[in-house]
Structure 1
């Protein structure tokens, strides 16, 4: 059965994700707690993996019910911050770590997603398994944390998600929530790095592009893809379906537009 296998959100933009059993679609069309917080410097520029590989030196965890963020530094120092009441202290700690004057901002209605007019990112488990097989020593979890999708679909083949972008593409429903594909996700520098160490993988982009072209599905709309350094899709949830819940195990059905 095609099903929702995993829900992942990234509570602080650029830092570690957490897996959830269930979550709501916000009024802004994104998932609750996804990029809910973000670190900004004095110029209003966000701290993330595109900007600095030092994000890989931190281990973080987040408890949605209490808004408690746990951070472990490379030297083993562990701190906890209540992001309901203690964001200034958290910003000061991160500022010392990143050597910048930072503020920790919050957006509960949309989150600090890159594509603010769009919604969750979607990939299949089989796609992650295939990508992991392209690189010696890469695990499926390693591919998962490199690519940082919100919604993972099981019970389908590799690149299942590619069928939902392009001319006359269908939509799909998870439970009673409709998802419409908007665009393939062009990748940045982050997937090239080991998610634990930040070390770049030799010739990652060249090998990725080569294998992506070789395995590109015949049934996908090639014109919807500007290049082959793409993986997963970005979707949109119609306004009428926002506020509804998603849960791991929900069935997935393809729907014509």
Structure 2
């Protein structure tokens, strides 16, 4: 039986995560505090902007320099990753004549100072936006925690000489839940065909697995430097097809550049908690609300 090995929230979207022992499922279904804050180009509405490469978000898809920023957080409490403060560090950058620097910012009170500090580093104006209720996930339909197995991370890391280990691959893929005691690509069991969901029990919480996550350029980039692996997509697709398990068969898996699973959290489960060590059980397949997918 699979179990939860790691829980990771990303309080500042596109920046470092924070490991949790327990996490509460928030109002929209995400881990409470996950992607509460995000950086966007100045004046951009985060709810209207695309999360793609030219959509206004200051993320790894469009701004490799983001990878140089390190973040650590002071959190609201042990099950809520909403940050009360963030410490950011940046390397020296010749392009914008910024020196290496580290600063602590109280949140949300010092949002303007974060904007000025990051904008100076990047060379253009940015806004720090906040969504305390549901966060600012890439998938605006399936807001639940994303999941992948540790064996998958180990296997995919082995496809690339430039990827050190499973931990680095986790930082590239940025899942919320890492599963253990299961084989590589076991998480592909957590989605079915279009119009269907896989009900999954984890501890005392239940989630609906709905969709294999479509990947972007971010996993090809070193999470610390932004250096890109040449031919990453092609190598990934070739190996994903060669190792595809029988259980991955689904009309949702329409191309091979997919890895990790998006979930939906039923309203009745909002406020439930996930914890490291929780057993994960597949309960069955059921119809999915058409408004979701």
Matched, 1:74 2:102: no
Question: Aligned Cα RMSD in Å?
Answer: 1.4
Q: How does 1:131-170 map to 2 (within 5 A)?
A: 131-138=156-163, 139-167=165-193, 170=198
**How many equivalent residue pairs?**
257
Q: How does 1:44-83 map to 2 (within 5 A)?
A: 44=44, 45-65=56-76, 67-75=84-92, 76-83=100-107
Q: Aligned equivalents of 2:32 and 2:201: distance in 1?
A: 18
Q: Aligned equivalents of 1:46 and 1:219: distance in 2?
A: 35
Report how far residue 170 of structure 1 moved. 3.2
Residue by residue, what CA displacement relative to the aligned partner does 1:66-109 show, whole Å, maximum 9, x if unpaired?
61101111134110101132111111111111222222111111
Partner of 1:14: 14
Partner of 1:33: 33
Q: Aligned equivalents of 1:88 and 1:195: distance in 2?
A: 26
Give TM-score, length-normalised by structure 2: 0.84
Could you tell me which of 111, 125, 129 is aligned with 1:105? 129
Partner of 1:213: 241
Matched, 1:199 2:227: yes
> Does structure 2 retain, via aligned residues, the 8 Å contact 1:36–1:107?
yes
Q: Aligned equivalents of 2:85 and 2:43: distance in 1?
A: 27
Q: How does 1:83-102 map to 2 (within 5 A)?
A: 83-102=107-126
Q: Aligned equivalents of 1:219 and 1:141: distance in 2?
A: 25
Q: Aligned equivalents of 2:247 and 2:136: distance in 1?
A: 33
Report how far residue 207 of structure 1 moved. 0.6
Report how far residue 231 of structure 1 moved. 0.5
Partner of 2:268: 240
Report how far residue 223 of structure 1 moved. 2.1
Partner of 1:178: 206
> Does structure 2 retain, via aligned residues, the 8 Å contact 1:28–1:110?
yes
Q: Aligned equivalents of 1:43 and 1:106: distance in 2?
A: 14
Q: Aligned equivalents of 1:88 and 1:52: distance in 2?
A: 20
Q: Aligned equivalents of 1:3 and 1:128: distance in 2?
A: 15
Indicate the SS of the match to 2:27: coil
Report how far residue 169 of structure 1 moved. 5.6
In structure 1, stretches of 5+ residues that fail to align are: none
Indicate the SS of the match to 1:188: coil
Give TM-score, length-normalised by structure 1: 0.96
Indicate the SS of the match to 1:223: coil
> Does structure 1 retain, via aligned residues, the 8 Å contact 2:198–2:210?
no
